[in-house]
Amino acid sequence: MTFFRRLPFFLLFAAYFFSCSSRLEGTTVLASGDGFVRAVAITFDDGPHEKLTPPLLDLLDTLGVKASFFLVGSMAEKNPELVRTIRSRGHTVANHSHTHRSCLSLSGEELEVDIRECSAVLEGITSSPVRFFRPPGGKFDRKTVDSVRKNGMKLVLWDINSRDYTGVSPSFIADRVVRKAVPGSILLFHSGVKATIDALPEIVSRLRKNGFEFVTLDEMFSAYVASEPFLLPAAKDLFIIM
C-alpha cells in the first residue's frame, strides 16, 4: 500500500527528470550545471602551454581532481603529445577555436572553418569526439551559436571568473573562487598562469571542506541530469564580454 501511495510522487519526479534532460539536449549555450548537485567544474582556457601545462597536470593528479581544458587548435598542433596526456589523465578536451580570434570579428564562413579546424585537430590527436566549445574571451553572437549547434557541440561559458589573467595574487584568486562557488558552478581559469597553479591547492582544499566535489564537463553534462542547468538565451545579436 505504501508503494501505491508514493506512486504519484515517483511519476511526477520521473516526468520532471526526463523533461529536464530533453531540454538540456536541445540547449546550445550553458553557463553552469545542476544547481541541486554539490559539484563544480574547473576549466582552463588557452592551452596547451608547453611549460606550464605539465606542472598543472601533475598538480591535478596530486589533488585528485579532473578538469576540463579548452584548447586552441593551432597550439594543440604544436604540442600533440601534451594534448594526448591531458586526455589520458581523464580530463575533458574541448574546443577554444583554432586561431583564438574573436568570434565577433569573423564572418560566418571564417568562424565555421575556425571551429571545425580546431575540432579536427583535437579529435585527430585524441581519437575522441569534441563535445564543447568556448568562444575566445567569452564573446559570441547568433552566428556563433548556430555554428556550434551545427557542429554538434554545446557552447559552454562560466559563472565564476577567477580573473587569474589580470595579474592578481594566488590568494586573491582562491578567495574570489571559494566565496562565489555554488552547486553547479563552472570555474574559469587559464592554463598559462603561474598564479593559478599556486592557488589551486587552497581552492580545492577549501571547496572540499565546504562539501563540493570536482567533475569534468563530460560528467557535469552527461547523458542525463537531475535538474535543468542555468541556460543563457541564444537571442539574436547576443554576445558576452567577460
Q: Which candidate, 182, 181, 185, 162, places its Cα nearest to that of 173? A: 162
* Active site annotation includes 61: no
* Active site annotation includes 190: yes
Residue with cell 563530460: 218
Three-class DSSP labels, 7-64:
HHHHHHHHHHHHHHHHHHHCCCEECCCCCCCCEEEEEEEEECCCCCHHHHHHHHHHHC
Residue 89 pairs in a beta bridge with none
For 86, the grid coordinates are 591531458
Tell me the C-alpha distance between 91 and 71, whole Å.
Answer: 12
* Helical H segments across the chain, by residue range: 2-25, 53-63, 73-78, 80-88, 108-126, 142-150, 170-180, 194-209, 217-220
Residue with cell 542555468: 230
217's CB contacts (< 8 A; 6+ apart) are 41, 43, 68, 92, 94, 131, 132, 156, 186
Which member of 49, 91, 98, 190 is catalytic?
190
Which member of 34, 45, 46, 164 is catalytic?
45
Q: ∠ CA 241-202-44 to the nearest 5 degrees?
A: 35
Residue 87: phi and psi, rounded to 5, are: -65, -45
Catalytic residues: 45, 190
